[in-house]
Structure 1
Amino acid sequence: MTWFILLSLLSIGLILILTEIIFVPGTTIIGILGLIFTGAGIYYAFLKFDPSIAWVILGFALLANFMAIFYGFKSGVWNKFALKEAMTSRSFDGRLIGLEVEMEGKAVSDIKPIGKAEFSDKIYEVKSDSGFISVGTTVFITKLEHNRIIVKN
């Protein structure tokens, strides 16, 4: 009966660790339960058996668990769950098309230091290079960088 309890605890622990690695990676709850069962089996071995036998059982349990972990990484199971695509779209792509440095426009709101200006009958959000610019003032584009429009009056 002692061997049955010991083998049951160690087997359940190993099965739970394999389940964590192969079927539900990343949840950690099943893996922690597997470690608890394995630890309980090793503790039980030290309680019921001679220490030399218990150390051998500990060695076999550690070897089996490390082999399971090694198998999980070597088999490529993680590749099935890994994200392999990246988002390449960006917000405001093409926003600066048709604008040029030194282009003249008109402030349609106070620019302090960010506001709105009109260029070629379109309204854009702009940033002032020279501080406060009041509404209705003529502005000129000084820089176009990273979807930002930098203006001065």
Structure 2
Amino acid sequence: MPWLTIVMLLLFGLLFLAAEVIFIPGTTIVGIVGFGLLVVGVWLGYRDLDTPMAHIALLSVVALTGLIVYIGLRPRNLAKVALLDVNDASVYDARRPDMLPGTLGRSLSALRPSGTVLFGEERREVVTRGEFVAAGTEVQVLGIEQNRIVVAPV
């Protein structure tokens, strides 16, 4: 009867390992349980069975485990659970300096010290270095500091 226990431990260990590698990769707990069942099954095989049978059980477990890992980690099977596509789309990032220093625009509102400026056809919120600028004045971009466009009258 001990051989039935050993066979069941090895069978369930291989099933748990196959489930971890092929069906639910990344959970780790199922794989650890499967590995533990395999270790206990081989240990009981050496303890309760004769040595040649235990060697056969050990070699079978190693071969089947290697086969399971090979099948589970093939690129075709790995593509089912791994992200292989590259997303190269982009979104507008306010931190990128799209208003280069020296760009000219016209203030739509009074800048006291912040307000709205028209750069070409784009309206942007800007700030000055503290001076007040009347509406309709031509301004020039000095730079971008802490996500704010800093301008000065021309």
Alignment of 1:54-65 (within 5 A): 54-65=54-65
Name 1:129's counterpart in structure 2. Answer: none
Q: Using a 3 Å threshold, how does the CA distance of structure 1 residues 34 and 108 change in structure 2: closer, same or farther?
A: farther
Which amino acid in 2 is paired with 1:11? L
Which amino acid in 2 is paired with 1:90? V
Q: CA deviation at 1:57?
A: 2.2
Match of 1:134 among 114, 130, 136: 130
Which amino acid in 2 is paired with 1:103? L
Q: CA deviation at 1:2?
A: 1.7
Residue correspondences, number: 139
Alignment of 1:1-153 (within 5 A): 1-74=1-74, 76-83=76-83, 84-86=85-87, 88-92=89-93, 96=98, 101-104=102-105, 108=111, 118-120=116-118, 122-124=123-125, 133-134=129-130, 136=132, 140-142=140-142, 151=150, 153=152
SS of 2:73's partner is: helix
Q: Which ranges in structure 2 are unaligned for 5 or more consecutive residues? A: none
Q: Structure 1 length normalisation: TM-score?
A: 0.68
Measured on the aligned residues, the alpha-carbon RMSD in Å equals: 3.6
Q: Using a 3 Å threshold, how does the CA distance of structure 1 residues 125 and 69 change in structure 2: closer, same or farther?
A: farther
Q: CA deviation at 1:108?
A: 4.4
Q: 1:24-56, CA deviations, whole angstroms, 9 ceiling, x for partnerless residues? A: 111111111111111110111122134454334
Q: Could you tell which deviates more after superposition, 82-91 or 28-37?
A: 82-91
Deviation above 6 Å: which 4+ runs of structure 1? none
Contact 2:126 / 2:149 at 8 angstroms: preserved in 1?
Answer: no
Give the percent of matched residue pairs that are identical in Structure 1 and Structure 2: 23
